[in-house]
Amino acid sequence: METKKTPSADLNKKSTLFLAIGLLISLSLTFIAFEWRVYEKGELMDLGMAMTDFDDLIEIPPTEQPPPKAPPLQQPEIVPIPDDEEIDETIEINLDVDITEDTEVENLVFDAEPEAEVADEIFLFVEENAKFPGGWGEWGKFLNKNFQYPRQAVKMGIEGTVHLSFVVDANGVISDIVVTRGIGGGCDEEAIRVLQSSPKWSPGKQRGVAVKSRMAIQIKFGLK
């Protein structure tokens, strides 16, 4: 007949506790072995018997330097200046112009001042803005006729508004086109292409004179 142990006598239940106690004891012994220090005993030095010679020190009095002597004062030398001498000589001035009361003087003619060159200035604000020939209605017709929706934008479903800035010179020629806000997908390039292909615009005017001005327009891209 097999003998059975009582639950209180079963040591396997407390194996984890015994393992933790063993690890703790081994770690403690290892730590004590590394931290244990041994000091050698030697002769002690008696610091109370040190010889002091402070009484033999000689007090050195502070040296006093006399203040530097001031340089001797020099009196300014007075030099007499003679009075202004009178000049008896007569200065003659000969002019080679014979003018009498009956002499007629011709009218003086002055050369006209050269006109100041007007700098090629770009006006941001003008009294009369530049515009497309025929007005904005014709500009819309021009866009519908020449505009091509980019294939990439159609595939990606891109819609939006492209903001353009450009310069119209005094002759109506467009230049310096810049995309200030784009939407990508080839729409920015298509907006620049259409604007470049447009005919000459009516230039902006300042005080009735055609000037070079900067314009800003928006081209809207929409899928139906």
Structure tokens at 64: 């006093």
Chain-centre distance for alpha carbon 16: 69
The answer to whether 169 and 175 have CB atoms below 8 angstroms apart is yes
The answer to whether 207 and 127 have CB atoms below 8 angstroms apart is yes
Structure tokens at 92: 């003659």
Q: Inter-axis angle of helices 187-196 and 136-146, to 10 degrees?
A: 120
Q: Domain ranges for the chain, please list them.
A: 122-221
For position 112, what pLDDT does the model report?
A: 57
Give the residue from 194, 185, 195, 187 showing the smallest Cα distance to 216: 195
Q: Could you report the per-residue pLDDT of 89-129, keeping only the tens digit for each?
A: 554 545 455 555 565 655 555 555 545 444 478 888 888 99
What's the fold here for domain 122-221? TolA/TonB C-terminal domain (3.30.2420)
Q: Could you report the per-residue pLDDT of 134-184, keeping only the tens digit for each?
A: 888 898 899 888 888 898 988 888 899 999 999 999 999 999 999 999 999
Please give the model's pTM, rounded to 2 decimal places: 0.46
